[in-house]
Amino acid sequence: MRIAMIGTGYVGLVSGACFSDFGHEVVCVDKDQGKIDALHRGVMPIFEPGLDALVASNVKAGRLSFTSSLAEGVKGADAVFIAVGTPSRRGDGHADLSYVHAAAEEVARELDKDAVLVTKSTVPVGTGDEVERIVRDAAPDRRITVASNPEFLREGAAIGDFKHPDRVVCGVEDDHAREVLAAIYRPLSLNQSSPVLFTRRRTAELIKYAANAFLATKITFINEIADLCEATGADVQEVSRGIGLDNRIGRKFLHAGPGYGGSCFPKDTLALLQTAEQFDTPLRIVQAVVQVNDHRKRAMGRKVAKAMGDARGKTVAVLGLTFKPNTDDMRDAPSIAIIQHLQDCGASIRACDPEGVEQARKMLTNVDYMDDPYAAAEGADAVVIVTEWDAYRALDLRRIAKATANPLLVDLRNVYSHGDAKAAGLDYIAIGKGEAVA
C-alpha cells in the first residue's frame, strides 16, 4: 500500500514510521519546511525512545520519505491519513477542527486517484460526516471514502503500542474503506492478540474519547482516595494494590500523584464535555474529573508550601517537569501549576528534567534550570519529585540530604519509602500516606 501521512507531529511521525516498518510505502507531509529539512537530516521533532532509529532504518530501506509538498505526498496514494493537531479552542473547550478541515479539503483537491481518507487525529463525534461533505464539495468527481482510525499511543511507549496494540479501531461506512484498512493493518491482524475492531465511523470517534475519559477518571479517583488515606492513616499504595488485583478493576492508572496532564487527557475530556452538551447529554462524572484534576495540581503546590512552613525566600528543587517520563511534552504538566504556586508564595525554583527543559523554558519564567538533581538540591530548602523519571528512582538520598539546606523530600510520585528517606537523614512527605503508616 502507498500511504500519505499528513502531519509529522507525535501521532503522524510515529504512525508513518511504523506503517513503513510494516512494509508499506509511506510519505509524511508537513507544511513546516524546517521540520522536513530536520527529518531529512535524521533530527526528530519530538523525543520518543527508539523513533530516530526506526525512522533511519526505513528511510534507508526506501519505504519512508518526507516532503512539504502535499501534491507530491498524496500522488498515487491508496490511503491518506490526517494526523494534524486538534487543540482545545480558546474560550469554550471545543476541539479546534480547522486544521483537520483544511487538510481534508487540500487532500481532496490534490488526489490523483480514488482513495480512502482516514482521520487519525482525535476528533469529536460527527467530524467524519463533515469531512465527507468537505471532500465531496472539493472533488465531486473523485471517489474519496472517509474513515476514522483513532490512535491509542502512550508517549514514551508509542512504538511498542503501535506494533503490539490492545486493539485497532477502524470506523468505516463502506466495504471499500474496510478492505483498505484491513490490508494496511494486516500485519497486526495476523497476531490474534491484537484485534482489529471495525465499527461505524461515529462509534470509532467516540471510542477514543470514552477511553481517555475513563483513564482520566481512574487517575482522579485514586488521587482522591489518596487524600482520604492521608486523613485516615491508610496507605494509598496498598489500597491501589488491593483494588487493582481485582480483574474487574485492573492495576493500571491507579498510581496516586499530582494529577494528569499531557497532550490528550486534558483536551479530550474537555472536548467530550462539549460534545455531551451539544447533544444535551450531560456527563457529570467527566465534568467532576476535570474540575478535581485542575484543583489537584495547585493543591500539590500548596502541599509543598505547607511542608516548608513558609516558602517565602526559600529555594525549592523540582525534579521532573514533563507530565510523564520518557517524553519532552510539557503540555498541561502538573509541574507548571506547582511551580507557579510556589513562585506565588515567594519561593525560588531550581529544576531539572532529562528531556523537558527546552519546552519548559517556553512555559515557565524565573526558573533556574540545572543539569542534574544534585546540583538542583545544593542549598535547597526542599526537594520535590514531580515526574518519576528513571534517573530519579535511584538517587543517593544521603547525598541529597547533605546537599540541602533543609533535608525535606516531598515525593509526589511515591518513588521512595519513609524508611529509606529517614535512614538517609531526610524528612519525607509522600502522597496518600497517613501519619499512622508514615
Express each pLDDT in 227-282 by its tens digit.
Answer: 999 999 999 999 999 999 999 999 999 999 999 999 899 999 999 999 999 999 99
b/e per residue, 408-437, with b = 16+ CB within 10 A? bbbbbbbbbebeebeebebebbbbbbbeee
Question: What does the pLDDT read at residue 93?
Answer: 78
Within 10 angstroms of residue 354's Cβ, the number of other Cβ atoms is 18
- What residues form DSSP beta bridges with 79? 3, 116
Q: Is 273 exposed, middle or buried (0-12, 13-18, 19+ CB in 10 A)?
A: buried
Q: Rounded to an integer, what distance in angstroms lies between the CA atom of residue 176 and that of residue 79?
A: 11
How far is C-alpha 351 from the geometric centre of its chain's CA atoms? Answer: 21
Q: Which of 89-93, 150-154, 285-289 has the lowest mean pLDDT?
A: 89-93
Q: Rounded to an integer, what distance in angstroms lies between the CA atom of residue 374 and that of residue 395?
A: 9
User: How many CA within 13 A on the CB side of residue 429?
Assistant: 18
- CA torsion sign, 192 to 196 to 197 to 198? negative
Amino acid found at 390: D
Express each pLDDT in 201-227 by its tens digit.
Answer: 999 999 999 999 999 999 999 999 999
**Helix (H) / strand (E) containing 59:** helix 51-60
> Confidence class of residue 89 from pLDDT cuts 50, 70 and 90?
confident
Question: What does the pLDDT read at residue 88?
Answer: 86
- CA torsion sign, 129 to 130 to 131 to 137? positive
Helix (H, G, I), strand (E, B) or coil at 23: coil
10-21 vs 51-60: helix axis angle to the nearest 10? 50
User: Taking Cα atoms as reference points, which of 67, 76, 148, 146 lies closest to residue 111?
Assistant: 76
Cell of 209: 474519547
Amino acid found at 292: V
Q: 326, 156 in Cβ contact below 8 A?
A: yes
Checking if the pLDDT of 436 tops 60, the result is no
Helix (H, G, I), strand (E, B) or coil at 64: strand
CA 373 to each of CA 71, 289, 319, 324, 356: distance values in angstroms, whole numbers, following the listed order: 48, 33, 6, 17, 14
Express each pLDDT in 307-332 by its tens digit.
Answer: 999 999 999 999 999 999 999 999 99
Within 10 angstroms of residue 12's Cβ, the number of other Cβ atoms is 23
Phi, psi (rounded to 5 degrees) for 33: -60, -30
Strands, sheet with 427-429, edge to edge from the N-terminal-most edge strand: 367-369, 348-352, 315-319, 382-385, 408-411, 427-429
Within 10 angstroms of residue 28's Cβ, the number of other Cβ atoms is 28
Q: Rounded to an integer, what distance in angstroms lies between the CA atom of residue 433 and that of residue 3?
A: 51
Q: Rounded to an integer, what distance in angstroms lies between the CA atom of residue 324 and that of residue 270?
A: 20
Question: What does the pLDDT read at residue 435?
Answer: 67
Question: What does the pLDDT read at residue 437?
Answer: 44
Q: 21, 53 in Cβ contact below 8 A?
A: no
**Helix (H) / strand (E) containing 379:** none
Question: What does the pLDDT read at residue 92?
Answer: 76
> Confidence class of residue 192 from pLDDT cuts 50, 70 and 90?
low
Question: What does the pLDDT read at residue 191?
Answer: 66
**Helix (H) / strand (E) containing 32:** none
Checking if the pLDDT of 43 tops 70, the result is yes
Selecting among 28, 170, 229, 264, the annotated active-site residue is 264
Q: Is 28 a catalytic residue?
A: no
Question: What does the pLDDT read at residue 428?
Answer: 97
Which domains are assigned to the chain?
Answer: 2-199 (3.40.50.720), 223-437 (3.40.50.720)
Q: How does DSSP assign 92-144, residue by residue?
A: T--B--HHHHHHHHHHHHH-SS-EEEEE-S---TTHHHHHHHHHHHH-TTS-E
